[in-house]
C-alpha cells in the first residue's frame, strides 16, 4: 500500500465508525454493548470527542464486518450509500440492500484508487432538466434527442451504453451480477458524482435499457435515488419520464421511422421477422421496439399484446432470422467484464506501481482471483514496452 503514515484525526475515525455501524444496521446502543460501554461513549467516539482504544476498535470493526486496518487506512474512502437508499426508498428488501451495498463498495473502491493515484474523474455532465408540467413523454422525447445531439451520437444505434455513460459523461457505471429482481440502481453523491449499477445477469438488451433508464433519472432528478425493479411498470411521473427517455434515447424517432420504412417496404402486414430485424438494428428487446412503434403510430396500439397472446416472438425465432449475428451488436457491453474500462485502467496502474497486490485489488473490487487476473492481464507487458517515445506528457 502507500507509505502515507499520517494518522487520521479522531473526528475522521469517528465518522468512519459511524458509517460502518449504520451500514451494519446496528444502533449506538448495540455498539455500546459490544465494547461494554455506555451509549454516550459511542456518541463521543463517533463525534471525535473521545479517542477510541485499539481493543475497542478491533471489536467494533469485527461487528461491523470491517477491520481495524480498513477503518484506519488513510487512503481508504468511506462512503456509504446504503442508508440513503433505505431512507429515500423506504425499503428493507434484501435484494435491494445487497445491490446497494455492492454499489457503495464499488464506488468507494474507485474513489480510493483515484485518491492513491492522484487522479480526478472528469465530469461532463449536461445541465439537469427538471420534469415540467404537462406530458412527460413529450418532454422525454425532446430531452433525449437534444442529449443525443449534444453527445454527438448521430442517428444510429447505441451499441455500448456503458461507455457512453462512463467515458463520455463521467458517470460511474458498474455491471455486476445481482438479484434478478433488481434491474439497476442509481445514486448521486457530492464527492462521487452520479453512480449506476446494472444487472449483468439480465439479457444484453435489458441492460442497455436499464442504463438509459437510469440516465433518464440523472437527467431529470439528479439527486434522487432510484431502484429499477425487473419488469416494473412506471408509476410516478419520474418513472414515466425515465421509461420514455430510455426508449427515445435508444430508439430516436427519425431513425426508427427510416429503418421501419426500409424493412417493411412493399409489405402489407407487420410480421415477427420485421420486429426481430428492427429490434436487432437498435440493440433493444423485441417488446421495447414494438412499444416504441406503437408510440410512434407505426404499429397499432395493442400490437405487442397480440403477439404475446399468439405465441410471442421467441429467441429461437430470432436466431432463425438473424443466424450467427444475433448477439454481435451488443458484445461490447459484455466485453467490459466485471470492471468498466476506466476503473480497469486505474486498477492496472495501481498494481504496476506496486501500490496494491493482486489480492488487495480483488478484495477492493469485490472480484475473485480469476476475475482480477483478467483485469490485470497484459499489464506487465505494457510496462515492459514503455519507453520515452510513448510516454505521456505530464
pLDDT in tens, 59-97: 998 898 777 877 877 666 666 677 677 666 655 678 888
Pairing of strands 172-176, 193-199: parallel
Q: Could you report the per-residue pLDDT of 233-270, keeping only the tens digit for each?
A: 667 899 999 999 999 999 999 999 999 999 998 888 89
* Region of poorest pLDDT, from 262-271, 312-321, 336-345: 336-345
What does CATH list as the number for 1-76? 1.10.260.40
Using the 8-state DSSP alphabet, how is residue 224 labeled? S
The pLDDT of residue 4 is 44
Of 109-118, 295-304, 324-333, 354-363, the poorest mean pLDDT is in: 324-333
H or E element that contains 80: none
Q: Where are the domains of the chain?
A: 1-76, 253-334, 338-390
Question: Cα separation of 281 and 270, whole Å?
Answer: 16
What is the distance of C-alpha 99 from the center of its chain? 10
Alpha carbon 306 to its chain's center: 34
pLDDT tops 70 at residue 335: no
Most confident of 113-122, 210-219, 336-345, 349-358: 210-219
At 1 the pLDDT is 39
Pull the grid cell for residue 267.
Answer: 409489405
pLDDT confidence of residue 40: 94
Q: Tell me what pLDDT residue 330 has.
A: 47
Task: Report the predicted TM-score, pTM, of the whole model to 2 decimal places.
Answer: 0.78
Q: What is the mean pLDDT of the chain?
A: 85
Cα 359 to Cα 373: distance, rounded to the nearest angstrom: 10
d(CA 382, CA 112): 23
With 80 as the cut, is the pLDDT of residue 157 above it?
Answer: yes
Greater confidence, 340 or 393?
A: 340
Amino acid at each position: 500500500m502507500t507509505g502515507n503514515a499520517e494518522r487520521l484525526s479522531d473526528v475522521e475515525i469517528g465518522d468512519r465508525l459511524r458509517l460502518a455501524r449504520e451500514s451494519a444496521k446496528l444502533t449506538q446502543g448495540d455498539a455500546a454493548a459490544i465494547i461494554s460501554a455506555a451509549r454516550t461513549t459511542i456518541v463521543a467516539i463517533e463525534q471525535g470527542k473521545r479517542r477510541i482504544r485499539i481493543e475497542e476498535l478491533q471489536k467494533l470493526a469485527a461487528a461491523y464486518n470491517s477491520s481495524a486496518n480498513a477503518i484506519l487506512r488513510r487512503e481508504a474512502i468511506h462512503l456509504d450509500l446504503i442508508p440513503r437508499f433505505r431512507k429515500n426508498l423506504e425499503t428493507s428488501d434484501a435484494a435491494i440492500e445487497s445491490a446497494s451495498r455492492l454499489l457503495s463498495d464499488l464506488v468507494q473502491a474507485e474513489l480510493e484508487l483515484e485518491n492513491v493515484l492522484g487522479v480526478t474523474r472528469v465530469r461532463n455532465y449536461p445541465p439537469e432538466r427538471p420534469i415540467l408540467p404537462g406530458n412527460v413523454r413529450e418532454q422525454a422525447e425532446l430531452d433525449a434527442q437534444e442529449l443525443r445531439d449534444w453527445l454527438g451520437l448521430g442517428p444510429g444505434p447505441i451499441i455500448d451504453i456503458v461507455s457512453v455513460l462512463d467515458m463520455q459523461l463521467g458517470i460511474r457505471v458498474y455491471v455486476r451480477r445481482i438479484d434478478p429482481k433488481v434491474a439497476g440502481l442509481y445514486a448521486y453523491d457530492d464527492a462521487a458524482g452520479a453512480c449506476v449499477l446494472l444487472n449483468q445477469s439480465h439479457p444484453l438488451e435489458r441492460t442497455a435499457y436499464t442504463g438509459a433508464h437510469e440516465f433518464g433519472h440523472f437527467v431529470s432528478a439528479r439527486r434522487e435515488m432510484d431502484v429499477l425493479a425487473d419488469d416494473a411498470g412506471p408509476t410516478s411521473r419520474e418513472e414515466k419520464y425515465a421509461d420514455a427517455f430510455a426508449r427515445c434515447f435508444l430508439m430516436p424517432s427519425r431513425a426508427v421511422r427510416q429503418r421501419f420504412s426500409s424493412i417493411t417496404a412493399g409489405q402489407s402486414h407487420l410480421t415477427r421477422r420485421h420486429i426481430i430485424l428492427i429490434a436487432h438494428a437498435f440493440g433493444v428487446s423485441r417488446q421495447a421496439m414494438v412499444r416504441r412503434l406503437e408510440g410512434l403510430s407505426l404499429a397499432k396500439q395493442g400490437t405487442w399484446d397480440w403477439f404475446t397472446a399468439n405465441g410471442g416472438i421467441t429467441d429461437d425465432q430470432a436466431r432463425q432470422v438473424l443466424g450467427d449475428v444475433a448477439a454481435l451488436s451488443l458484445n461490447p457491453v459484455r466485453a467490459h467484464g466485471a470492471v468498466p474500462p476506466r476503473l480497469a485502467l486505474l486498477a492496472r496502474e495501481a498494481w504496476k506501481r506496486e501500490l496494491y497486490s493482486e489480492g488487495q485489488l480483488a478484495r477492493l473490487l469485490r472480484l475473485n482471483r480469476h476475475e482480477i487476473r483478467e483485469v490485470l492481464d497484459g499489464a506487465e507487458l505494457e510496462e515492459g514496452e514503455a519507453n520515452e517515445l510513448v510516454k505521456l506528457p505530464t
